[in-house]
Amino acid sequence: MKKELEKTYNPGEIEDRLYQKWLDNKYFHAEVDETKKPYTIVIPPPNITGKLHMGHALDETLQDILIRFKKMQGYNTLWQPGTDHASIATEVKIIDALKKEGIEKEDLGREKFLERAWKWKEEYGGTIVSQLKKLGSACDWDRERFTMDEGCSKAVQKVFIDLYNKGYIYRGSRIINWCPVCQTSISDAEVEYEDQAGHFWHIKYPVVGSDEYVEIATTRPETMLGDTAVAVHPEDERYTHLVGKMLELPLCGRQIPVVADEYVDREFGTGAVKITPAHDPNDFEVGKRHNLEEINILNDDATINENGGKYEGMDRYEARKAIVKDLEEQGYLVKIKDHEHNVGTHDRCGTTIEPMIKPQWFVKMDELAKPAIEAVKNGDLKFVPERYTKTYLHWLENIRDWCISRQLWWGHRIPAYYCDECGEIVVAEEMPEVCPKCGCRHLTQDEDTLDTWFSSALWPFSTLGWPEKTPEMDYFYPTNTLVTGYDIIFFWVVRMVFSGYEHTGKCPFNTVLIHGLVRDDQGRKMSKSLGNGIDPLEVIDQYGADALRFTLVTGNAPGNDMRFYMERVEASRNFANKVWNASRFIMMNMEQAEFDHVTLDDLTSADKWILSKVNTLAKDVTDNMEKYELGIAVQKLNDFLWEEFCDWYIEMVKPRLYNDDDTTKAAALWTLNTVLTEALKLLHPYMPFITEEIYCNLTDEESIMLAKWPEFKEEWNFKEDEKAVETIKEAVRGIRNIRAEMNVSPKKKAQVYVVSESREVRDIFEQGKVFFSTLGYASEVIIQSDQTGIEEDAVSAVIPDAVIYMPFAELVDIEKEKERLTKEEKRLHGEIKRCEGMLGNERFVSKAPAAKVQEEKDKLAKYQQMLSQVEEQLARLNK
């Protein structure tokens, strides 16, 4: 059995070595084992374009903690890893690479482009996986999946065909989010809303055959080219006489009707709203209700098309300027008002998206949403924290049909085929040889691919072999806990839930653990534009993965954002050093005595105290972790190891370790070894590397990952001994506080009297005299029932049922202390005189910044308080 650790804790040396050991021994791998209960987590698949950022680091750390915890509890754990093909992000990367070679995507053609995409995936797609390994992720890498691998692709195709045959998937023209730069529809998940400074342009729409006009206000004047009505509220008396009449659409030479619709907010703007059904989702619905024409005025690149008359070919913003200029010149422009409004941009390229009506593939959501809603109402699905249930339900209860087609080549191609002759649509696994309607042999596959979220919605079961009936699917599904950020509840969590119910009849997981964002030290979101991102890999290189993980979990509460400070990483590294050095100290002393024969009866009160403490810690930490209170659990571990174990217990037992004649040395060593072993197990899920290295040197065991999770043992429950040691600790704290106030060096020993009328309290100090003497810097400990023999000037500390006394003269060299206090008195008088001089200077008080004046006032108050204390101490010494 090895009993040594390196002198200095060096995470760079141990982490890669230990991770390779875990991989070589397949500790992360899971096979179906009916004798054990399964516990499964599916990783939110990171994009193959991605690099590890702090959000990933937090997300993966939380999952890893749960997996390691459950494995030690005896569960058969599977953390299912994999990556997402990320249609838009990946295609953009490949297009950019091609442009550097002077090649356009269209010149290459679909087949050659996809060859390049797969080559790119093989070259760069594994980057984030290798980075996840640096973090210590206990994923079953033997089961790694990719959203476009053969199995996942088969699942995607089956789901599309099944939903189409059930009437849930249809092709139709509806408003979608369109990115003019990426030239594809995008999902709501890929639209980021930001407040932008803009304007309200107020425009006159003349009433045909009248001198009247209707004034409308718009933030996008260029869209008036596609207006097909103006809507007013049916009860708005200002406009009721105009309902049904025609308006002249300025600049366009068309006439449009005034319609009455309750969608209009009478109090907002002018109370009259221009309706552009082809370019606004709300206007689209109004248009359907009133059977209005839908006029698309934009090309795919956001230039004005042939429906824009003289503005055809102009960029949308160029057209806006020209239209406003023409409106002003022709007398239609009433006024322009500044207006800040929410603008949707594509999260990939930052382009302002255009709502456009286009023929696309959609999923009907009404029926699919029902079981997903019922899941949280009947308790099959729980959110932690519970408040996110409302967010989930609100989105599901107001859900729109889902646009699933994308105008991209990288992705799952839609399995729909069009007859070149009659236009019949056939949805099938393979292209039909003949059209079932007209017999034509010429069919063409749909050019579009599916939204990335379509495949990731199947992730919890497609990764386990579905649609095949695999042993893994039967055993590991439904999964247990999904860990994800609050920003994708709608887009991913919701879709997995309704997909799980629709295709497997079960909720894909029973708990969703929601975490917040990792923000910078000023509370700002980390972003490229702000340049405030912190690379987790750089933190790992400098401080180690354990320190990063510990930092991310400390103070972390489910659903709440956290601020990331490098000082906190240093504190985590210091904690790791503390544990390392304490472990090294214990191992260096272990050969001093045999302790295998020690029983609980051999333990001292101090030994029983720390054993009872670690016993309670196991119970509390387990309880917190079961409730997903991982931040609370880790704080308890930190407090126990740093304070109770290192700062108190190790210091308590040192006199016993250094005294060869002490008959309790073996008990002390047994306790040190036992408590450290238990604490390392509890700490392991949070700091896997350092705990593995220490544990495998401390014990004969192969890995801490295979160790049994500590459980509360009634025979280790020593409440009376806990109470006894806490009494002594309180006395020690009192002594230390007095000595600190009097600036007494720890090297200076003094007599300590413990006075108590209680036999029980006196016995406590008698039994703990050895370590109390050491911790209380005592030259001698005298325990008695009254104050006999204690000098009048002795200083005292009061604790429950006892008073601790120390002779004043033993603590302080009175003459030297008088000399020191006299010098301090003189210095403080000088400081007070200087402050009073500045504050009495009218010029300074009137011209200096208020903060500076206040600073001087605060200094004066502080110096006056300090002088009062010094004078009090001097008077006491001069008695």
pLDDT at position 1 is 45
Peptide linkage before 281 cis (omega within 30 of 0): no
Tokens of 111: 């087949």
Q: Where are the beta strands (DSSP E) in 776-856?
A: 778-784, 795-799, 802-806
Tokens of 236: 């708005």
User: What Cα–Cα distance (Å) separates residue 64 from each residue in 42, 67, 128, 625?
Assistant: 11, 5, 16, 13
- Strand pairing report for 184-186 and 82-83: unpaired
Tokens of 500: 């799980």
> Could you give the CA distance from residue 625 to residue 683 in angstroms, rounded to a whole number?
12
Q: Where are the beta strands (DSSP E) in 558-704?
A: 562-563
Q: What is the DSSP letter of 269?
A: T
pLDDT at position 398 is 86
Q: Supply the angle between the helices 388-397 and 494-504 in degrees, to the nearest 10.
A: 70
In sequence order, the β-bridge partners of residue 192 are: 345
User: What Cα–Cα distance (Å) separates residue 877 from each residue in 797, 812, 815, 827?
Assistant: 19, 10, 9, 19
Q: Which CATH number fits domain 184-355: 3.30.930.10, 3.90.740.10, 3.40.50.620, 3.40.630.10?
A: 3.90.740.10
Among 712, 637, 550, CA closest to 11: 550
The parts of the chain modelled with pLDDT lower than 50 are 1-2
Q: Where are the beta strands (DSSP E) in 103-147?
A: 145-146
pLDDT at position 3 is 62
In terms of CATH architecture, what is 722-812? 2-Layer Sandwich (3.30)
User: Is residue 528 marked as binding?
Assistant: yes
> Could you give the CA distance from residue 210 to residue 92 in angstroms, rounded to a whole number?
53
Which CATH topology does 815-878 take?
Helix Hairpins (1.10.287)
Among 353, 395, 347, 43, CA closest to 189: 347
What strand order describes the sheet that includes 184-186?
Answer: 184-186, 169-179, 354-363, 402-403
Q: Which CATH number fits domain 564-702: 1.10.730.10, 3.40.50.1370, 3.90.180.10, 3.30.420.40?
A: 1.10.730.10
859-873 pLDDT, tens digit per residue, is 999 899 888 878 877
- All structural domains of the chain with their residue ranges: 184-355, 564-702, 722-812, 815-878
206-221 pLDDT, tens digit per residue, is 999 899 999 999 999 9
Over 540-561, what HEC string results?
A: HHHHCHHHHHHHHHCCCCCCCC
Q: How many CB atoms are closer than 10 A to CB 872?
A: 11
Q: Supply the angle between the helices 110-124 and 87-100 in degrees, to the nearest 10.
A: 100
In sequence order, the β-bridge partners of residue 485 are: 515
Q: Are 752 and 782 in contact, with CB atoms under 8 Å apart? A: yes
